[in-house]
């Protein structure tokens, strides 16, 4: 059982577990102490979900923790992942493929990239050599940006299960929480299967690629000068579509059950051996989505897993979305090996 209280610093609503006497805010990292949780009044209905951008927020300690001193860590590091699949069941926003996406991504990480099963839970700390992964399959949206930090004038968002009452998670908050604190030697990959997700991590550079595979890196650094990169680590994101596009929840790819088109094509690219470089991954995913409707949509053991999952609906015609690649720094997408 949980009780809602307000963060003592940014006033963000927090879910206090029963019997707990303190809780750390995921937004500003401030610790709120309570004397008796049972006597706490509910937070004001007018409390904003996130602190105002005009209110200065003091520097927060890294949610990833500090690298421990002492012997050099294992050269291979640790592997940990957060996987989110939201179906919005029993609502008008229900999606059929997101839970399947989460199951298939977990299977891929364990069997292809050797992630320990018990490491696919949550991020609690990291050290040099660690490989982190965040996968999200669900609704995404966007809203008008008023501080001039977005090239297209919009902030991209993710929609948690309670977004209609508690609000959406804005790209600025995602960047501040999981991108900017990344320390040296730590690598984060984000796999975002949602509408309007092209720059949802607010990473400074976007790989603009045409249909022949030629590309340039677009500079998306805010004109305000706010740093949206890391603290020395590496952050790279594959997303389901451009910021002004929508992503499909469809059975047109697997022919068996509903999945997110982007998640399916990401897994398929790896299983077909197209995942040697980041450019190869991006080209393979885009080609698969463009060729929706052809008979050659088979995959390997992971995509075959879809036959064991829940059946769903279908869509007709091609999918109107183009997967995107963003990063904290530009690099040669055809020479850098892809690995998790």
Say if residue 129 is exposed, middle or buried (CB neighbours under 10 Å; 0-12, 13-18, 19+).
Answer: middle
278 pLDDT band (50/70/90 cuts)?
Answer: very high
Both tokens assigned to 324: 């995107």
Same-domain status, 90 and 35? no
Domain assignment present for residue 44? The answer is no
Number of domains in the chain: 2
Q: Give the pLDDT confidence of 153-163 residue by residue, as tens digits.
A: 899 999 988 88
CA 268, distance to chain mean position in Å, is: 19
Both tokens assigned to 129: 């050599």
3-state secondary structure of 287: helix
Same-domain status, 135 and 6? no
Same-domain status, 93 and 20? no
Same-domain status, 201 and 308? yes
283: number of Cβ within 10 Å: 21
* β-bridge partners, 176: none
Say if residue 107 is exposed, middle or buried (CB neighbours under 10 Å; 0-12, 13-18, 19+).
Answer: middle
Higher model confidence: residue 260 or residue 129? 129
| Structural domain that includes position 28 | 2-39
Both tokens assigned to 128: 């040099």
Task: Indicate the range of 25-29, 134-138, 181-185 predicted with least confidence.
Answer: 25-29
**In this predicted structure, what is the pLDDT of residue 9?**
79
**In this predicted structure, what is the pLDDT of residue 305?**
41
Same-domain status, 28 and 105? no
Higher model confidence: residue 51 or residue 161? 161
Task: Indicate the range of 55-69, 81-95, 302-316 predicted with least confidence.
Answer: 302-316
Q: Give the pLDDT confidence of 297-335 residue by residue, as tens digits.
A: 444 444 444 433 333 333 334 457 899 999 999 999 999
Q: Are 327 and 279 in contact (CB under 8 A)?
A: no
197: number of Cβ within 10 Å: 34
**In this predicted structure, what is the pLDDT of residue 251?**
54
CA geometry: angle 304, 308, 261, nearest 5 deg: 60
Say if strands 215-219 and 169-170 run parallel, antiparallel, or are unpaired. Answer: unpaired
Say if residue 297 is exposed, middle or buried (CB neighbours under 10 Å; 0-12, 13-18, 19+).
Answer: middle
Same-domain status, 158 and 31? no
Both tokens assigned to 126: 């990291």
Domain assignment present for residue 238? The answer is yes
Same-domain status, 26 and 147? no
Domain assignment present for residue 58? The answer is no
**CB contact set of 222 (below 8 Å; sequence gap of 6+):** 148, 149, 150, 228
Same-domain status, 317 and 206? yes
Same-domain status, 149 and 26? no
Given a cut of 70, whether residue 296 has pLDDT beyond it is no
Q: Tokens 């919005």 map to which residue?
A: 88
Same-domain status, 178 and 226? yes
Q: Are 300 and 271 in contact (CB under 8 A)?
A: yes
What are phi and psi for residue 86, nearest 5 degrees? -120, 120
Helix and strand counts by DSSP (H, E) for the chain: 6, 16
- Write the CA distances from 57 to 53, 61, 65, 221, integer angstroms: 9, 12, 19, 20
Catalytically active residues are 139, 195
Domain assignment present for residue 52? The answer is no
């Amino acid at each position: 059982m949980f009780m809602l209280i307000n963060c003592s610093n940014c006033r963000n609503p927090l879910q206090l577990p029963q019997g707990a006497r303190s809780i750390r805010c995921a937004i500003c990292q401030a610790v709120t102490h309570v004397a008796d949780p049972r006597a706490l009044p509910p937070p004001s209905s007018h409390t904003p979900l996130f602190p105002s951008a005009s209110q200065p927020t003091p520097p927060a300690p890294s949610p990833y923790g500090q690298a421990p001193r002492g012997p050099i860590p294992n050269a291979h590091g640790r592997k940990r992942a957060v996987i989110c699949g939201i179906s919005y069941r029993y609502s008008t926003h229900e999606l059929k493929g997101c839970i399947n996406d989460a199951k298939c991504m977990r299977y891929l990480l364990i069997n292809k990239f050797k992630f320990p099963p018990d490491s696919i839970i949550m991020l609690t700390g990291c050290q040099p050599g660690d490989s982190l992964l965040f996968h999200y399959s669900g609704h995404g949206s966007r809203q008008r940006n008023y501080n001039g930090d977005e090239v297209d004038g919009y902030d991209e968002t993710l929609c948690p299960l309670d977004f209609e009452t508690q609000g959406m998670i804005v790209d600025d908050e995602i960047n501040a929480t999981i991108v900017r604190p990344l320390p040296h030697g730590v690598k984060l990959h984000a796999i975002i299967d949602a509408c309007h997700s092209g720059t949802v991590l607010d990473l400074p550079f976007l790989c603009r690629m045409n249909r022949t595979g030629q590309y340039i890196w677009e500079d998306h650094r805010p004109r305000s000068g706010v740093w949206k990169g890391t603290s020395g680590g590496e952050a790279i994101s594959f997303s389901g579509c451009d910021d002004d596009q929508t992503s499909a929840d469809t059975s047109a790819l697997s022919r068996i059950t509903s999945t997110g088109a982007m998640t399916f094509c990401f897994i398929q690219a790896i299983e077909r051996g197209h995942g040697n470089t980041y450019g190869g991954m991006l080209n393979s995913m885009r080609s698969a989505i463009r060729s929706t409707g052809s008979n050659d949509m088979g995959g390997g053991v992971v995509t075959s897993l879809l036959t064991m999952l829940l059946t769903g609906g279908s869509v007709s015609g091609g999918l109107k979305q183009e997967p995107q690649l963003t990063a904290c720094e530009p690099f040669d997408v055809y020479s850098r090996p892809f690995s998790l």
